[in-house]
Structure formats: structure tokens, C-alpha cells
Structure 1
């Protein structure tokens, strides 16, 4: 089973990285293959809404999305997104990847292709935010839900942590390791 991690944080080895690392180590301990793609390191053109994918099922751009990201999303059995909150949404690099998943939405809904027939894929969101606002993660959860739907992935759940801004601050959260362990144990 391939577990694909999508790290959305531009901060090197920050809180989102820690969440991803913990999740992936637990998955590896269960014998799963893992891979993490760092959105900020990928060369991704933003979606321009040209409609090419709705007609042809492929994107007009030849970039890291087309050659690296999309093939791994298609192969993955489990996808986990780990990200900080930027203005109640995803940071720009990961949002560009999410927007470009329109190509799978187009294949599924416009062109009626069923390339994931018989596969039961799962998706998870790990998120961290500096403020304590009640609706802090609503934008990420909704965007993740539609990303997973377009890629024919069942959105399972999210683990979200408020009030953590300092780099490495997530390591001091009392429940994070237990919650990740419990999440992975249920898979």
C-alpha cells in the first residue's frame, strides 16, 4: 500500500512537517510504503481555467504537477495533507496543486472516466494554526474534502491543532502523538 504525503508548509521542518513525519513513521511501522512531496519545492503553474482538461482529460502545462504529483496521486492508496493555516486557507504552493487536481475532476465528472474503479482510497488532513478561532480550519477542511472527491478519495478525518505558531511548538502538544497513533491504528 502506498501512502502519499503532501506537505504544504513553506517552513522547513516546522509544525506541519512534524505532523507529517509522525504520521508517516506510524504508517511505515505498519509495513506501508510512504512518500512525501513538498509542495513548496515543486515547480507548479497555477490553473488558468482554460478548460483543456475538461475536453482532453489532461492539463496543458508540462510541469511537476503533470510529471510528479499527478502520477503519485493516482498510484496512492492513502493520501495525507499536512499544512499550516494561511488566512484561513492553504498556503499558495499547496493550493496550486489542489487547484490543478481539476484534471481528475474533469476525467471523473465531465469525461465520465472511472480510472479508480474498485479501489477504496482514503484521505486525511493534518493541520496546525496559530490562532484559536473556532472556524480556523473550516476553509482547509472544505478544500481538502473537494480535493479528495475530485481524486476519488474518501475523506476520512482531520487532526487540527490551534494556538501553535512557534516553530517546533507542536512537539509540546500533549495529545498529538497519541492522536496520530490512534488514527493510524484504525487503518
Structure 2
């Protein structure tokens, strides 16, 4: 089985990246084939709503989304998004990637293509946020749910940590490794 990790943090070696690396290491130790992509390093044009994907099933842009991300997404059995919270949402670089998943939505819902027949694909959200507000992860969870649905992936669960603002704080979280092991075991 193949696991695709998508790091959405603009902060190099930040809490979200550390969270994803822990998850990916655990999955690799369990025998999964893993691949991690860093959204910040991908050159992705924002969706312009042209409708080409709705009529032809392909995006007009030839960029890293088309040539790197989309093929990895199609091959993946488990997709994990790891992200910090920026104003109760995903950072812009990750949101651009999420918006471009419209091509998979169009193929599934408009063009009635069944590319994943018989496959049971799973999606997970890993997130960290600076504050402790009860609604802190609502925007991410809702967006992740629709992102995964568009890609014909069942949104399994999320693992979200509050109060993680300073770089390196995630490394000292008391239950992180136990949480990751439990999550991996349940997948």
C-alpha cells in the first residue's frame, strides 16, 4: 500500500512538518511505501475556474500539480495532509493545491468516471495551531473532508494539536508518538 504525505507548512522544519514526518516514519516502519511532497516546493498555478476540467477531465495548466502531485494522488491508498492553521484555514500554498483537485471532482461527478472502482482509499488530516480555541480546526476539517471526497478518498480522521506556535514545540508533545502509533494501527 502507498501512503502520500502532503506537507502544507510554509515554515521549514516546523511543527506540521515534524508531525507529518513522525506519521510517515511510523507508516514506513509498518511496511507501507511512503512518499512525501512539500506544497511549498511545488510550482502550482491557482485554479482560474475556466471549466476545462469539467468538460475534458484535464486541467489546462502543465505544472507540478499535473506532473507530480496528481499522479502521486492517483497512486495513493492513504493520503495525509499536514498543516498549520492560518486564520482558521489552510495556508495559501496548500489551498492552491486543494483548489486544483477540482479536476478529480469533475472527473468523478461531472464526467462520471470511476477511476478508483474497488479501491478503498483513506484520508487523514494532521494539524497544529497556535491558539486553544474550540473552533480552531473546523475550517481545516471541513475543507479536508471535501478535498478527500473530490479525490474519491474516505476522510478517516484527524489528529490536531492546539497551543503549538513556536518552532519545535511539537517535538516535546507528551502523547505525540503514542497518538501516531494509535492512528497508524487504526488505518
User: Which residue pairs with 2:41 in the alignment?
Assistant: 41
Instruction: Structure 2: give runs of 5+ residues left out of the alignment.
Output: none
Matched, 1:29 2:29: yes
After superposition, the C-alpha distances for 1:11-60 in whole angstroms (9 at most, x for unaligned) are 11110011111101110111111000000000000000111100000000
- Number of positions where the alignment pairs a residue of Structure 1 with one of Structure 2: 187
SS of equivalent to 2:70:
helix
Q: How does 1:10-159 map to 2 (within 5 A)?
A: 10-159=10-159
Moved over 2 A (4+): none
1:186 aligns with 2:186: yes
CA–CA separation in structure 2 for the residues paired with 1:186 and 1:29: 15
Report the CA distance between 1:136 and its aligned residue: 0.4
Q: For residue 5 of structure 2, what is the aligned residue in structure 1?
A: 5
Q: Which runs of 5+ in 1 are unaligned?
A: none
How well do the aligned residues superpose, as a CA RMSD in angstroms?
0.5
Equivalence for 2:174 = 174
Secondary structure, aligned partner of 2:174: coil
Q: Secondary structure at the match of 2:59?
A: coil
Cα offset, 1:175, TM superposition: 1.2
